[in-house]
Amino acid sequence: MSIIFSKKCEYGLQAVLYLSSITESAVASADEISGKLRIPKEFVSKILQELTESGMVNSKKGKNGGFFLDKPVNQIKLMDIVQAIDGDSIFRTCVLGFPNCSNEAPCPVHETWSKLSKETFDMLNQETLDQFILKTKKKIQSIS
């Protein structure tokens, strides 16, 4: 369960990480991704089709079709995926939903959330997919 990302974004992150972990230039079908990650196939297809609009993912039609990364893994940041699916508003708005939350008029968790939010944003903006390939492969093996 994620506290900051939508389920759609969680699945998108997982699917793109999966694509990064297979042989470069390999194509993975929605069925394959769905089965390996235990995500509903229809959801996988829809999310990856949306990510094709961002230029991160592309698809190939036909019998041996599927999805593949359209950029090198060292050029895709986790934040690129989050931005394409959920946007970055969670990093700019009050986590409790209070209007006008700021340093001058903070909500009860403003100080703590501001620190966590900045650390999370920085990590997502610095880490690229190539840094997670081995860990992703291990995680996928533990799911299957």
Q: Say yes or no to pLDDT of 11 above 70.
A: yes
Q: In the numeric block, which tokens belong to residue 35?
A: 């089965």
**Sign of CA pseudo-dihedral 62, 67, 70, 71:** negative
Q: Please give the domain boundaries of the chain with CATH numbers for all domains.
A: 7-86+129-143 (1.10.10.10)
Pairwise CA distance, residues 93 & 22, whole Å: 36
**Residue 66 parent element (H or E):** strand 66-69
Q: What pLDDT is recorded for position 82?
A: 95
For 18-67, the pLDDT digits (tens) are 999 997 668 999 999 999 999 998 899 999 999 999 899 999 998 888 99
